[in-house]
Chains A and B, each alone.
Chain A
Amino acid sequence: MTKVVIMGRDEKICARIVGPTGAEHRRLANKVMEEALEQANLSFNEISCVIATGYGRINVPFADRQITELTCHARGVVSLFPKVRIAIDIGGQDAKGLKISNGKLIDFVMNDRCAAGTGRFLEVIAAALGLKLEELGEISLKSTNRVKISSTCTVFAQQEVIQRISEGIPLEDIVAGLHDAIASRVAKMVKRLKIEPDVVFTGGVAKNAGVVHALKENIGGEILVPDEPLLTGAIGAAILGKELTLKAVAKGETIQRKERRLEEATFFNRGN
């Protein structure tokens, strides 16, 4: 998913866009940026600073800075939950655990080696079950006897799930098992940071009530979820952009390093 947030100096959000990311990051970045500008009723020149983050951050030709999603998420989460100590983010490409102290990122763990433990795991298996991703959470909450998914690898877990279905095991128990599988994997990873409250859960998967529930069980404590868990990274990026700009202005400098144009990047050329 590609997310855009446009924010004013007062940190008030004036545009928010979420769209799917394909293989063609660049074109998409451009398109969603235009949409966002339209929503905010602004022209590109009126934007003081553009920060790109996330997996495709290097593919945003019009960005002034690239900052990792780890730093941006941390900043975004802190703005929403000032007391946060641990942030867990599960997206389609990766899962992250952030340790935050006094509003600053101090340590992190990350999995992007393997689809298991990321949103991709659920996507793949939901597709195999012929279900929509959004349906999973609700289905799993009906479970009374969740099954254990023994394969960690997404490809084989998919197979295992199909097998369980053919054995006549109720769908909700299987989906609950999947949620537990992903939650226990992520929890195990995040435990490396020594968990302390408040724990905040963000990313696309945080919209799934089943995973939230399973994560609570695995972490053994309360978990806060923002209203728009997908946007945290973009919000953080925008705030960092604002801070950088203000700092630059105070020094009488400008944040822009190069001439910046919002035009469709040609897909086959690496423009600068």
Chain B
Amino acid sequence: MAWFMGIDIGSGSSKGVITEDGKLVAYHVLPSKANYRVVAQKLRDELLAKVALPPGDITYTIATGYGGGSVPFSNQQVADIRCCARGISSVFPLVRTVIDVQGMSSQVIRLKEGGQVINFVVSEKCAAGSGRFLEVIANVLRIDLKDIGPLSLKSKNPITFTTGCAVFGESEAISRVSEGISKEDILAGVHKALANKISTLIDRIGVEEQWAISGGGGLNVGLIKSVEERLGIQLLVPPQPQLITALGAAIMAEARGGLIARSEITN
């Protein structure tokens, strides 16, 4: 028996998983808050408690994500893009393109079997290309983030955001509200705007079936539908899209840790 850990410290939330022989046995999600070290420790404690193991039983730990450098107990830090590709590949082996929508940015990753990255593109450092845009608009409309997806699906006439900036988008939403446009239509509009940004990323690296979505954006049915409509495709949605990167980290830990274990034996 060997256990492996993947820790993904994102800008908004932090995710951790433990795998055993390639299978997910425990996961935990916490808001990242201010101190990444603290959240990483807490994540580990919670994960170990769930599987009732002492820390020493974890063969190898890989940290990733925005705060991946602040995980004191990790054996290695790996780029989130690679972890995401490995993670999605473990869930959907036929996926060749994954759209990863995070709080700080969106990225589109093309991969081959086994989850090796063959191309990727990351959105500009602009809130309008990330999940953050949705939050900003949800906030200004005073709607709970988890409700915006379902609500947007009720729209019959989504507005067009003519600006590509979250801050402008906010004032545009305000002025649309005062023009009497429904919140549903505004929300559908912001989903469409983000879907457009994502499709621009896709335009840049080309397309290949099958498709999946990961990251926090994968929890939002409105966004999924907008992307599907915009690109005329079907997105595979993993059961826990926000965990994919952490899962990929654990899977890489298995590969890496397994190697070390073998070399110890041969030595």
In the complex they form, whether A and B have CB atoms below 8 Å apart is answered with: yes
The residue on B at minimum CB distance from A25 is B178
Partner of B34, one of A162, A267, A270: A162
> In the complex, A97→B168 CA distance in Å?
21
Q: Are A153 and B168 touching (Cβ within 8 A)?
A: no
Check if B58 is an interface residue, CB within 8 A of chain A. no
- CB-nearest residue of chain A relative to B67? A166
- Given A114-B167, A159-B11: A166 in contact with B180 (beta carbons within 8 A): no
Within 8 A of B (CB), among A142-170: 153-156, 159, 162-163, 165-166
- Known A153-B127, A267-B180: A162·B168 in contact at CB below 8 Å: no
Contacts of B132 in A (CB 8 A): 155
Interface status of A269 (Cβ within 8 A of chain B): yes
Q: Which residues of A contact B37 (CB under 8 A)?
A: 166
Taking the closest CB of chain A, its distance from the CB of B140, in whole angstroms, is 6
Interface residues of A in 165-198 (CB under 8 A from B): 165-166
Residues of chain A lying within 8 A (CB to CB) of residue B38? 166
Inter-subunit contact B180/A23 (CB<8 Å): no
A129 within 8 A of B: yes
| Residue B142, interface by CB 8 Å | yes
CA distance A23 to B66 in the complex (A): 33
Max chain B CB contacts within 10 Å: which of A93, A156, A162?
A162
Task: Judge whether A166 and B34 touch: CB under 8 Å.
Answer: yes
Query: Known contacts A23-B140, A23-B141, A166-B35; is A269 also within 8 Å of B178 by CB?
Result: no
With both beta carbons as reference points, the residue of chain A lying nearest to B135 in the complex is identified as A155
The answer to whether B127 touches A155, judged by C-beta atoms less than 8 angstroms apart, is yes
Q: Is A85 an interface residue (CB 8 A)?
A: no
Q: Tell whether, in the assembled complex, residue B34 and residue A154 are in contact, meaning their CB atoms are under 8 Å apart.
A: no
Bound CA span A269–B33, Å: 42
Residues in A neighbouring B141, C-beta threshold 8 A: 23
Judging by beta carbons under 8 Å apart, are A113 and B167 in contact?
yes
Interface residues of A in 55-71 (CB under 8 A from B): 56, 58-59
A23 & B142 in contact (Cβ 8 Å cutoff): yes
List B30-56 residues whose CB lies under 8 Å from chain A. Answer: 32-38
B126 CB to nearest A CB, Å: 8
Residues of A within 8 A of B (CB): 22-26, 56, 58-59, 93, 112-115, 129, 153-156, 159, 162-163, 165-166, 267-270
7 contacts between A and B (CB under 8 A): A23-B142, A24-B177, A114-B167, A156-B125, A269-B180, A270-B179, A270-B180
B positions within 8 Å CB-CB of A: 11, 32-38, 66-67, 70, 104, 125, 127, 132, 140-142, 166-168, 171, 173-174, 177-180
The 9 A-B pairs with the shortest beta carbon distances in the complex, nearest first, are A165-B34, A155-B127, A23-B177, A268-B180, A166-B35, A166-B36, A59-B178, A162-B34, A115-B167
